[in-house]
Amino acid sequence: MAVDLLPELTLGTDLARCAVPALARAVQAGADTFDAEHRGRRLRGTRRGLAGGRCAWYVRDVTEEQARTDALLAERSRTAFLAQAGSRLGLSLHRDQTLRATATLPVPYLADAAVVVHRPPPPEDEPHWIRYAEGDALPATGVGSWDLAAAVPGLADALDGDAVEPSPWLNAEPADLAEVLPDHFGRPGTLLISPMLNAGGPAGALILIRRAERAGFDQREIELAREFAARAGAALAAAELYGEQAHLARVLQNSLLPPELPAVGGATLAGGYRAAGDSLRIGGDFYDVFPTEEGAMFALGDVCGKGVGAAVLTGRVRQSLQTLRLVEQRPLKLMRLLNRALFDAPDAARSAQFTTLLLGTLARQGDGGLVVRVAGGGHPSPLIVRADGTVDQVRVGGMPIGALTAARFVEAEVRLAPGDLLLAYTDGVTEARGGPTELEMFGNARLRQALASGAGLPPATLVDRLLQLVDEWLDGQVHDDIAMLAVAAAPA
């Protein structure tokens, strides 16, 4: 077996001068082991002492064992790379961030440079690219031309979404990639082009580039690159979908957030709003103020539910009010028209949602006061804070809008003298749970006490104070939507 393994050795060979360099060096150095390549095989030797001061060297051929170990380590490395790539790509919810991650992750593990060529969102048509090369501080971006796709074999096919097997392309000309490669890179040695596919079609193409002095891609590396490109394509599709949804959410948010209050002669107004922990800051509570010839019309409501679903009905109620107020401005009759409009909606039977509502008009009097006519639809009655600190209730009850076709509503009329203030609010204020037990409601008594102590304050200051008191009461706990509208009669 020794002769088969080391044919250079014969009986009596001086090991210090044998034809196995690693063994000779180990003998000369007095080492106990050696591990080296010899004639394409991996040899591992161990020295054992014998009687009489002699020794014996046990040499094993560990080529296959080492190959299995190397394969295991390589597989672990590939698994770790894909795990890291999957984590990074999964956290990239923005298109540009995903493209940067796709370009930077393969360098230097898979290539010396990576280029992502992708189609931009409409209306742009020219291909864009993002590149990252070893030694660069940050990825570079640019706008390419379709000549680039034609100059690099396989790139046009990948951009068209053809599910072809990635294949290395040797001896690429530097001029073909001069548009996207950094000046310091030099001549590329091997290119590997992989399509980035997703369920909706081609998302782009990934070009991995190695310098001439680096070995080409083996089959395992090709498969790894293909898997990475597929994950990058899926991540890019998810980021684009997230971007579209975020854009729609912003449009929805801008249309549903409480409006900037208009100037109304003879009155001072202020609004307050808190959504129920919704990241979009929209919910089911709302208020609106519409100027009229006599003064203004106001609305404050609370839609059943919370979040985006409630916000959709909020938008429908507000849009209906915007239209119906052009033909009817008397609160009680307008509320009846709104109730009928909600039942006439195409999906009224499926939605089974309703809203409580206050509708009111403001009319200035000659002495500087305001006449307020309020109609109630199942909403908490508004409160009046007199200049002397007295707190009264405007008794309007009624039934929620959209609950019954024959719902009944109640209307009342009050007068605000200069210095008086009317507060309309949603039940998110009084039903806010917190305090020492974290379960006790803020309640009507605390609200009345806060209003009485704030008599004479400007509406904006009073609303801010109430929101602060409710926030302190909640102490960071989850709460319902909150909306307030304060109206004060301005001095003549």
> Does residue 319 form part of some domain?
yes
Same structural domain for residues 285 and 394? yes
Instruction: Tell me the pLDDT of the chain (492 aa) as tens digits.
Output: 766 777 766 655 565 556 678 888 888 888 999 998 887 888 888 999 889 888 888 888 888 888 887 777 777 878 888 888 888 887 777 888 899 999 999 998 888 999 998 877 666 677 888 999 988 888 888 887 777 777 777 777 777 777 556 555 555 555 556 667 787 787 778 888 888 877 667 788 898 988 888 888 888 888 888 889 888 888 888 888 888 877 776 776 666 677 789 998 889 999 998 877 655 566 678 899 999 988 899 999 988 876 666 777 888 888 899 899 999 999 999 999 999 988 887 665 445 578 999 999 999 887 778 999 999 999 999 999 999 999 999 999 889 998 888 899 999 999 999 989 999 999 999 999 988 888 899 999 999 999 999 999 999 999 999 999 999 998 888 788 889 999 998 876
Residue the block writes with tokens 């040899």: 43
Same structural domain for residues 294 and 367? yes
Q: 263-282 b/e with 16+ CB inside 10 Å = b?
A: ebebbbbbbbbbbbebebeb
> Does residue 71 form part of some domain?
no
Same structural domain for residues 223 and 303? no
Which among 250, 284, 316 is the end of a domain?
250
Which among 32, 61, 90 is the end of a domain?
61
Same structural domain for residues 96 and 177? yes
Taking residue 49's Cβ as centre, other Cβ atoms within 10 Å add up to: 10
Same structural domain for residues 381 and 471? yes
Same structural domain for residues 323 and 459? yes
> Does residue 385 form part of some domain?
yes
pLDDT in tens, 464-478: 999 999 999 988 887
- For residue 151, the enclosing domain spans 76-250
CATH number of the domain at 233, please: 3.30.450.40
Give, in order, the Cα–Cα distances in Å from 101 to each of 88, 114, 192, 277, 347. Answer: 7, 11, 18, 31, 44
Q: What is the model's pLDDT at position 350?
A: 46
How far apart (Å, rounded) are the C-alpha atoms in residues 358 and 66? Answer: 81
Q: What is the model's pLDDT at position 201?
A: 72
Element containing residue 297 per DSSP (H, E): strand 295-303
Helix boundaries (H) for 328-458: 331-344, 348-351, 427-430, 443-453
CATH number of the domain at 472, please: 3.60.40.10
Among positive and negative, which fits the CA dihedral 41, 44, 50, 53? positive
> Does residue 70 form part of some domain?
no
Q: Which amino acid is at 170?
A: L
199's tokens: 């369920």
484's tokens: 């307030």
CA 178 distance to own-chain centroid: 36
Number of domains in the chain: 3
Residue the block writes with tokens 């001072």: 268
Same structural domain for residues 414 and 469? yes
pLDDT in tens, 327-355: 999 999 999 999 998 888 766 544 557 89
Which among 212, 232, 250 is the end of a domain?
250
- Structural contact between residues 256 and 311, judged by C-beta atoms closer than 8 angstroms: yes
Among positive and negative, which fits the CA dihedral 225, 226, 229, 234? negative
Q: What is the model's pLDDT at position 219?
A: 85
DSSP 233-279: HHHHHHHHHHHHHHHHHHHHHHHHSPPPPPP-TTEEEEEEEE-SS-T
> Does residue 28 form part of some domain?
yes
Same structural domain for residues 201 and 340? no
pTM above 0.85, yes or no: no
Same structural domain for residues 6 and 150? no
Same structural domain for residues 225 and 298? no
Same structural domain for residues 105 and 235? yes
Same structural domain for residues 382 and 315? yes
> Does residue 383 form part of some domain?
yes
